[in-house]
Structure 1
Amino acid sequence: MTPAERSRAELREHLIRRRLAGPDTPTPRQKNLRSYRLFGQGDPAALMGLDPEGRWGAGAVLELMAERCGVHPGSGYGSGPDTIDPDRTLDALDRLAGLVRRTARRRGTVLAGTGHPTQLTAFHTALAQALEAAGCTLLTPARGARFREPTPDGNRACVLDYLGPVAVVRSLDGGSAKPGRTSPGTLLHTHSAQPVRLALAALAQAGEPLPDLLLGDHGWLCGAGRLGVPAGGLADSNDPAPFVGEAEGTVAVAVPVDDGAYPQCYKPLSDYVLQRADLAPYKD
């Protein structure tokens, strides 16, 4: 077995053991189906800033997610565990590595941001820092920009911040219209594309071109891809927007994987991407 084959086999085992992919991922079937229905109905949180070109009813979304993620294809299967095919995850990580490799070779500009700050920041940081070491320029525009984000409980006041090279969103007023939910400064989970729009608008106002690569998830992927930025990152089986974007050519790479695990669970994934991108050595 070659080092590359061994690395892939080891990561496949890790994905299943940590339930990042495999036959029993943490996101239940009923949650997946609900998200597919909401996407088909044009729910803003489900769209994540995407403006689909085609007609995507719940059935079409399910068909796509079965193809891209490996979820159960049957519309009659309505509850219970659902699946992410680990081989589809690995194949998508290979495509993400290709995107990273091409950016490194051209010493391009990179913007990274996450709507999952407590889970995925370290994953994006590892890729961004490796790209910087390879000669790329990391961008951190619109730091401190304030905006209001709609939520089911009302608008919440937010601010764009950075954890190292990775953009995140923090609460300014408790995180929702209902007091006591979070404290000011709390890192927020968000599907919104507003943060990436603010970041890209700040670059434009400064006379700077769009980034050569966006590393992200949720609205960062969809919002950047919609504006023409090559975008790649992780997406869960209950988040169809990045996969629809990938199918329509808006998002460059959407990697199917559970996005709610402990941060350290994603280190083998970033190690794998960097190895495949020729930015890190294979382990003996």
Structure 2
Amino acid sequence: MPEPEPTPEPTPEPTRERATPPGVARLRDALTRPSRSQVVVAVLLAVVGFAGVVQMRTTAEDDTYSGYREQDLIDLLTGLAGTTQRAETEITRLEDIRDDLRSSTTARSAAIEEARREARALEVLAGTVPVGGPGIRVTIAEDAGTIRASAIVDMVQELRSAGAEAIEINDQVRLVAGSWAIQDGDGIVVDSVPLRPPYVVEAIGTATTLDGAMSFPDGPTQTFERGSAATVEVDEVDQLEIASTVPDVAEPQFARRSD
């Protein structure tokens, strides 16, 4: 018997790859290769998300007192008001202290300045410092030695009464309240200093007033001219310089100021 012919095996069909849906492919491409616009959108979303978190935290913080009872809130506000009032009271107290200090400092400064002015005035009147200023120069000349010491003293008193603030004779002796003069032969002795004519007396003050104190009827000028046959010349001077001074006055041993 003839052998049967072999049955041919079927030829396998070629394997066909499964097609990928288009939407999935686009999503995969977007995730693996994002475009510039997609990156911008992602950043904006991140910013919005961060802002939302911050807002939620802020809201949570704003709600700190939301759980308080009404009485608790009232007590809290009352405490804050009391603290504010105490602070304002303290500020007012400190401002008052500041004003008092300023006032006392001003008063103390004024008192010190007034004391300095008085000290300067007393130095001038006491004759312990050189001085300068307007005034008159009186020159008394005579040859016979007839000018009396008492006439010089009377003239000095008239000048003081007319407002003379400083007086000097012969550029040697500063005449003050305690000065004295005596006769000494043809001359005089003033505060232990012997002087001889002509006598030159310089007085600082208002020149016209001092001139009038010398020239009024029966005043010093006429007294010297009539009683001593002396010549008297009075000159008003814009600026006199009195350099002589008296020794510093010793502190009194027994006398004390009475208030």
- Normalising by structure 1, we get a TM-score of 0.20
Q: More helix by proportion, 1 or 2?
A: 2
Look at both structures and tell me which one has the larger radius of gyration over its CA atoms: 2
- Normalising by structure 2, we get a TM-score of 0.21
Which is bigger in relative contact order (C-alpha 8 A, separation at least 6)? 1
